[in-house]
Amino acid sequence: MPLVSLFQRHRDRVTLLACVTMSLLLLNSSAELKFDLARAIGSVVFAPSDGVVKLNAHLSRLQGENEILRERVMVLSDEWNRVEEYRKEATRLRHLLEFRDAESYHFLPAELLSFPTNPRENNLIRVDRGRRDGVSSGMPVVSSSGLIGAVHTVHEQEAEVQLLSSKNFAVSCRDRRSRVLGVFKWDPRRGFHVDRVDLNEDVQVGDRFMTSGLGTRFPEGFLLGTVTDVQMPPGVLRKQILLEPSVRLQTLEDVFIVNLISKEAPGFPLDSSIATDEEGGP
Amino acid sequence: MRETRFQLLLLVLGTIFYPVTEKWFAPWGVSVNYPFLLLFWVTIRRGRTPGTFYGFFIGLLRDLSSSTELGASALAFSLTGYLIGGVREKIDRENVAIRLTLLAGSYLVCQAIYLMPRMDWSLPAAGAAWVRYALPGSVLNALVYLLTLLLVRGLSEGLALIHEPAEH
């Protein structure tokens, strides 16, 4: 009781003594204890302010990204305008030379419904577009990186797409640099490769192959892959060219069905009797 | 009780958000130390014992929220709370000039106590830091306190005029 009354009489001094003692104890405590204490209390008390700090940093980062993207949009917009001019010029020149008009294509976005766990074994994927969307068998399917395959079977609301990595799939292709023509194929032994390129043709590692537009199905200009190896073993008549596909089939996300191709586009329509056996699509 | 809760809330929020906001307004590297201003305000209103306790409490929070030596701010703020509370009873609290002088003086004392353990008890180093930061800081904090006081008074008088019944 006398202690309580003493405390009540000198409450201010007792409080000061207690606070100063605790402060000094904290000052002289070990670094580990300080760290543990700071972490324990800080994680509870400072969680709200941490959130604000992080939100602020996040917003700053987004703002920075936004500025970069805006600048990029401006650059691309400028480039697009110039490309548009070139396109018009090319169209005019094609008309002058009496070439057929290479009109653009209509891309129908589609979502993947299923994907083979091993695309090399089971080469069909299912997408959520079907007959009701105007999809028909044989239409090319692409992604932003290049050609993926072609529509194989069409149902009312969905379709099956045959991937490039199919044994019976072949596309007429062209080297973007040297304009050499070949046939893009896949087989389980060699993987992706280009066939029918003569030994004297100019194809080098790093060249990119795209669809040539020859044949009935695939429009010109969709990327197929990059040359990783060129071999000329003795006794063969053609180069053996291996490619890395431009589309990573394992990480496919958005696909587009090229569902409207101008009848005036190069190679369309092509009489089936003249279609080469290079076009082995479905 | 309600006032205590409100003051405690202000102190906690002020101290928690101080590290986030101290760089927003810091002329010549000297920031407005509003945990200290809040402590001053609370101690002038409440007295020595709450001032000491609140000083320790916000000092500890301040230590936890920044990279300062754990216990340094707690020691400085609790001693300053005690000092302000002690002087409070001997001065005319309504006199703004005296109050500002007390604020500036207690800020200098607080910084002196705080800087010593931070500078490994080296008097020259603590003295240099004190001259560099504490002296301009005391003027800046006194100015901010004065502006806040004028703003609050102006607002109170304005509100009183609005609510005062018109005389005919």
Q: Tens digit of pLDDT for each residue in B112-160?
A: 888 888 787 888 888 888 888 888 888 888 888 888 888 888 888 887 7
Angstrom distance (rounded) from CA A96 to CA B8? 84
Q: Distance from B19 to chain A by nearest Cα, in Å? A: 9
For chain B, what percent of residues have pLDDT higher than 70?
A: 95
Q: Are residues A114 and A252 in the same domain?
A: yes
**Over residues A152-163, mean pLDDT:** 90
Structure tokens at B131: 């001259």
Any idea what DSSP says for residue A118? S
Cis-peptide into A282, omega within 30 deg: no
Does residue A197 lie within any of the structural domains?
yes
pLDDT digits (tens, 9 = 90+) for A14-53: 888 888 888 888 888 877 777 777 777 766 666 666 666 6
The answer to whether the CB atoms of B78 and A20 lie below 8 A apart is yes
The answer to whether the CB atoms of B79 and A20 lie below 8 A apart is yes
Give A226 or B88, the one with higher predicted confidence: A226
CB-CB: which of A12, A23, A49 is closest to B75?
Answer: A23
pLDDT at B3: 72
Tell me the residue range of the domain where A36 lies: 2-45
- Token pair 């007959």 is at which residue? A131
Sequence-ordered strand ranges (E) for B59-164: none
CB-CB: which of A27, A45, A49 is closest to B117?
Answer: A27
The answer to whether the CB atoms of B17 and A37 lie below 8 A apart is no
Residue A90 pLDDT exceeds 80: yes
CB-CB: which of A11, A22, A26 is closest to B49?
Answer: A11
Q: How many domains are there within chain B? A: 1
Does residue A76 lie within any of the structural domains?
no
**Residues of chain A found within 8 Å of residue B74, distances taken between Cβ atoms:** 19, 22-23, 26
The answer to whether the CB atoms of B55 and A11 lie below 8 A apart is no
Long-range contacts of B82-86 (CB under 8 A, 24+ apart): B82/A12, B82/A15, B82/A16, B82/B48, B82/B51, B82/B52, B82/B55, B83/B109, B84/B39, B84/B40, B84/B43, B84/B44, B84/B51, B85/A12, B85/B43, B85/B46, B85/B47, B85/B48, B85/B49, B85/B50, B85/B51, B85/B52, B86/A12, B86/B48
Q: Are residues A165 and A245 in the same domain?
A: yes
Does residue B40 lie within any of the structural domains?
yes
Does residue B148 lie within any of the structural domains?
no
Q: Are residues A25 and A160 in the same domain?
A: no
Does residue A28 lie within any of the structural domains?
yes
Q: Are residues A166 and A30 in the same domain?
A: no
pTM: 0.46
Give A243 or A220, the one with higher predicted confidence: A243
**Residues of chain B found within 8 Å of residue A38, distances taken between Cβ atoms:** 63-64, 70
CB-CB: which of B12, B75, B86 is closest to A20?
Answer: B75
Contacts of B80 (CB under 8 A, 6+ apart): B36, B39, B55, B106, B107, B109, B110, B113
CB-CB: which of B16, B56, B61 is closest to A48?
Answer: B16
Chain A residue closest in CA terms to B20? A53
Residue B102 and residue B145 in contact, taking contact as beta carbons nearer than 8 Å: no
DSSP, collapsed to helix, strand or coil, labels residue B5 as helix
Tell me the residue range of the domain where B105 lies: 2-142
Does residue B161 lie within any of the structural domains?
no
Does residue B33 lie within any of the structural domains?
yes
**Residues of chain B found within 8 Å of residue A37, distances taken between Cβ atoms:** 70
Is ipTM > 0.85 here? no
Give the residue from B140, B136, B134, B52 showing the smallest Cα distance to B88: B52
Does residue A87 lie within any of the structural domains?
no
Q: Are residues A144 and A34 in the same domain?
A: no
- The domain that contains A193 carries what CATH number? 2.40.10.340
The answer to whether the CB atoms of A22 and B17 lie below 8 A apart is no
The answer to whether the CB atoms of B49 and A15 lie below 8 A apart is yes
Q: How many domains are there within chain A? A: 2
Does residue A13 lie within any of the structural domains?
yes
CB-CB: which of B17, B47, B78 is closest to A19?
Answer: B78
Nearest 10 degrees: CA dihedral of B99, B104, B108, B109? 0
In chain A, which residues touch B (CB < 8 A)? 11-12, 15-16, 19-20, 22-29, 34, 37-38, 41-42, 45-46, 48-49, 52-53, 56
Is B35 near chain A, with CB under 8 Å?
no
Please, which residues bridge with residue A149 across strands? A141, A163
Does residue A171 lie within any of the structural domains?
yes
Residue A265 pLDDT exceeds 50: no
Does residue B67 lie within any of the structural domains?
yes
